[in-house]
Amino acid sequence: MAYSDKVIDHYNNPRNVGSFGKADADVGTGIVGAPECGDVMKLQLRINPESRVIEDARFKTFGCGSAIASSSYVTELVKGKHIDEAMAIKNTAIVAELNLPPVKIHCSVLAEDAIKAAIGDWKKHHGDAEPAAEPRRAREG
């Protein structure tokens, strides 16, 4: 299967790889995994507690090119966004940007989940408990 140019670019030059210190109170961490392919993704977001804007992001992903590209793209996508805006990001935006083929859509779902998990983690530490998780909806590709 051929990867799109954008996937190859993110794979060869991943943006914002790495991690923030665990002690950093303004950082939310989300680790999500895909059992079907064995991939695992860690996304960290530094969020300004006053403005609730995502100021910086780091990721580290063990997985295929599409999983790495999806998480790399997400770190660029969320920077400068308010957490409510970031929570509304759909996997379809990632699919469209990276031209992911149908068999790789689950990589974009994983990246979307990582944003939600990281913001959820941050809210937990900022006295803003996540409301009860909504039932998982069907995804469009």
Partner 1 sequence: MITCPSCARAQSPALVCVGCGAPLGANLDLFAALDLPRRLTIDPAALERAYHDLSRRLHPDRFAAAPAKIRAASLRATANLTRAYRTLRDPAARGRYWLELHGRKLGDDNQRVPAELAAMVFETQERLEELRDERTPEALAGARERRLSVDAALAAAGRALAENFARWDAAAATADDERETRFAELKAVLSKIAYLTTLLRDIDRELETARAA
Q: Which residues are catalytic?
A: 37, 107
With CB under 8 A as the contact rule, the residue among 84, 127, 131, 136 that binds partner 1 is 136
x/- letters, 25..64, toward partner 1 (CB under 8 A):
------xxxxxxxx-x-x-----------------x-x--
Contact status, residue 70 vs residue 89, Cβ threshold 8 Å: no
Q: Does 94 bind partner 1 (CB under 8 A)?
A: no
Q: Does 134 bind partner 1 (CB under 8 A)?
A: no
CA distances from 2 to 87, 95, 124, 139 (A): 30, 15, 40, 23
The span from the first CA to the last CA of the chain, in angstroms, equals 18
d(CA 22, CA 15): 20
- What's the closest the beta carbon of residue 32 comes to partner 1, in angstroms? 5
Q: Phi, psi (5° rounding) for residue 67?
A: -70, -40
- What's the closest the beta carbon of residue 105 comes to partner 1, in angstroms? 9
Name the residues that contact partner 1, by CB under 8 A: 31-38, 40, 42, 60, 62, 106, 109, 113, 117, 136, 139
